[in-house]
């Protein structure tokens, strides 16, 4: 048997599949992004906004978000699957204790009708010889699945933090808008008093009064809509934090910060391939290739060993007085399976190709996300500074129109048009500033970061000790 096994080993060792350990995309990544410096990107990017509310909300979300907690539970499942797969590398030891009762019936010779009991005890040691590393590759594939699950969890954490930051920006936008509406309402009431006073002196028409009153009511109508939107955003934020919507909702006290120059971007090859979703796709590619090795090894002979020690006695007190042992070895050689094992090898190889293209797609999508954010950054920055200039010009136009109106050199329609234009531009300025922040959040999220490596699972109500 040893000679046969030696011949099999020498004839098949050269065709055992060797799994890949690294991979490169079909097309090389660019040497740099289209904007920002090549210095390493910031890690805990939300701290760049220098906002305590945002930092507090993200810390709370990382411990309380239910989607993230589910990801932790899924990760623990894959951890245990990897441990189960690794257990097959070691021998298994089983023990058994049995009793058998024999009733001989009426013994014609002795006349005895007493039943007899036989006691038995066994211990069995079994071991599957890992000739072609089938068990090893199965364990390594399970470990890679676990590592990919950890990357999935970190990708979820990135999504949660960016979603919290986005809601924080939206709530800050609504807060800024409420403050602006209060100022606009005060200014519009001042203009209404001016028009009504001139109407009282007979130097202004009733139409001018009605038009200004309409503008005042239009501003007042914006308050309940803005507060309603603010409340809905608070509900969404409470959900992300793992709270009920009717509990005390987080209040955003600070205004929208001003976004300045681009942050450091790093090098595409080093930044994007560290993104959790890219890493997860790469690890699943490696796991799939290990499963090719498993399918190839399944076509080769398998060897299993077993050893059994046991004892039998009619009295339980004498059960372990005498022992018997049994050693066995089995060699299983696949002869005919109608091509099933070969087809499994080809299926596994096709899965590797699919995983490779999936990894490339995730990598390219990551690059597109970064470049899209950079394009939007440039466009939004240009738009923002243009709006700032327009607000300045609109204020100058309004001041000039008011002076001409007071001196009777123009009608009130010119003033009203100027006032409405200024107020619309002021609201648009807040909206574009928020869009800049939202785009910067998406840019940071697209760049990923290594801060997710430090995540630790929060306490669970199902945790037990002892």
**Strand duo 92-102 + 116-129: pairing:** antiparallel
Q: What percent of the chain is modeled with pLDDT above 70?
A: 89
Above 50 in pLDDT, residue 284?
yes
Q: Does the structure show a pLDDT above 80 at 412? A: yes
Quote the pLDDT of residue 109. 53
DSSP for residue 126:
E
pLDDT at position 124 is: 85
Return mean pLDDT, the chain: 88
What pLDDT does residue 7 have? 45
Could you report the per-residue pLDDT of 289-347, keeping only the tens digit for each? 999 999 999 999 988 888 888 777 666 666 666 777 788 888 888 888 899 999 999 99
Compute the distance between CA of residue 290 and CA of residue 294 in angstroms, rounded to an integer.
6
- What's the pLDDT score for residue 456? 92
CATH topology for the 17-90+131-299+342-454 domain: Outer membrane efflux proteins (OEP) (1.20.1600)
| Widest distance between CA atoms in the chain | 141
pLDDT of residue 248: 58
Helix (H) or strand (E) holding 304: strand 302-313
Query: How is 414-461 classified by DSSP, letter by letter?
Result: HHHHHHHHHHHHHHHHHHHHHHHHHHHHHHHHHH--SGGGG--PPP-T
User: Residues 87-140: pLDDT tens digits?
Assistant: 988 888 888 777 777 666 555 555 555 667 777 778 888 888 888 899 999 999
Instruction: Return the DSSP state at 244.
Output: -
CA distance 100 to 80: 38
**Residues in Cβ contact with 187 at an 8 Å cutoff, skipping those fewer than 6 apart:** 419
Higher pLDDT, 403 or 273: 403
| pLDDT the model gives residue 273 | 87
Give the torsion through C-alpha atoms of 31, 36, 39, 44, to 10 deg: -120
Least-confidence region, from 46-50, 258-262, 349-353, 401-405:
258-262
Asked if the model's pLDDT at residue 160 lies above 90, the reply is: yes
Question: How far is it, in rounded angstroms, from Cα 158 to Cα 163?
Answer: 9
pLDDT tier, 250 (very low <50, low <70, confident <90, very high otherwise): low
Give the predicted TM-score (pTM) of the model. Answer: 0.87
pLDDT for res 3? 46
Q: Please, which pLDDT band fits residue 50 given cuts at 50, 70 and 90?
A: confident
- The H or E element containing residue 311 is strand 302-313
Kindly give the residue spans of alpha helices, DSSP state H, lying in 103-133: none
Residues 6+ apart with CB under 8 A from 383: 432
Q: How confident is the model at residue 364 (pLDDT cuts 50, 70, 90)?
A: very high
Per residue in 212-225, pLDDT (tens digit) is 999 999 999 999 99
Return the percentage of the chain with pLDDT > 90, whole number.
65
Which stretch of 3-17, 275-289, 334-348, 375-389 has the lowest confidence by average pLDDT? 3-17
């Amino acid at each position: 048997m040893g000679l046969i096994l030696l011949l099999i080993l020498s004839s098949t060792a050269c065709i055992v599949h060797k799994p890949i350990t690294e991979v490169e995309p079909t097309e090389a990544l660019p040497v740099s992004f289209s904007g920002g410096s090549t210095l390493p990107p910031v890690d805990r990017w939300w701290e760049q906004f220098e906002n305590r509310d945002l930092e507090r909300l993200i810390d709370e979300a990382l411990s309380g978000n239910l989607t993230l907690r589910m990801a932790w539970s899924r990760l623990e499942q894959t951890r245990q699957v990897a441990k189960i797969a690794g257990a097959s590398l070691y021998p298994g030891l089983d023990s058994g204790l049995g009793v058998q009762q024999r009733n001989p019936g009426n013994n014609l010779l002795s006349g005895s009708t007493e039943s007899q009991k036989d006691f038995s005890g066994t211990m069995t040691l079994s071991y599957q010889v890992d000739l072609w590393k089938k068990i090893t590759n199965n364990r390594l594939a399970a470990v890679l699945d676990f590592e990919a699950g950890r990357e999935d969890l970190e990708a979820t954490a990135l999504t949660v933090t960016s979603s919290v930051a986005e809601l924080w920006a939206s709530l800050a936008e609504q807060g800024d808008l409420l403050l602006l509406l209060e100022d606009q309402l005060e200014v519009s009431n001042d203009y209404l008093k001016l028009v009504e006073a001139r109407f009282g002196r007979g130097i202004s028409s009733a139409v001018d009064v009605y038009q200004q009153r309409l503008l005042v009511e239009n501003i007042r109508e914006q308050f309940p809509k803005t507060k309603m939107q603010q409340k809905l955003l608070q509900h969404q934020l409470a959900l992300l934090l793992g709270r009920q919507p009717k509990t005390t909702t987080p209040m955003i006290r600070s205004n929208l910060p001003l976004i300045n120059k681009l942050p450091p971007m790093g090098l595409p090859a080093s930044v994007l391939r560290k993104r959790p979703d890219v890493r997860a796709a790469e690890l699943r590619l490696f796991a799939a290739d290990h499963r090719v090795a498993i399918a190839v090894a399944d076509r080769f002979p398998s060897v299993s060993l077993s050893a059994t020690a046991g004892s039998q006695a009619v009295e339980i007190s004498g059960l372990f007085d005498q022992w018997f042992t049994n050693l066995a070895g089995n060699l299983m050689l696949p002869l005919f399976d109608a091509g099933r094992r070969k087809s499994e090898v080809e299926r596994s190889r096709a899965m590797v190709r699919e995983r490779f293209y999936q990894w490339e797609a995730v990598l390219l999508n990551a690059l597109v996300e970064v470049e899209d954010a950079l394009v939007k950054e440039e466009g939004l920055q240009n738009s923002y500074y243009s709006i700032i200039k327009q607000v300045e010009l609109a204020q100058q136009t309004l001041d000039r129109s008011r002076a001409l109106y007071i001196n009777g050199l123009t009608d009130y329609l010119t003033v009203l048009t100027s006032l409405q234009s200024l107020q619309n531009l002021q609201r648009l300025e807040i909206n574009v500033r928020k869009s800049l922040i939202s785009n910067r959040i998406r840019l940071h999220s697209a760049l990923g970061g290594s801060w997710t490596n430090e995540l630790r699972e929060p306490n669970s109500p199902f945790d037990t000790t002892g």
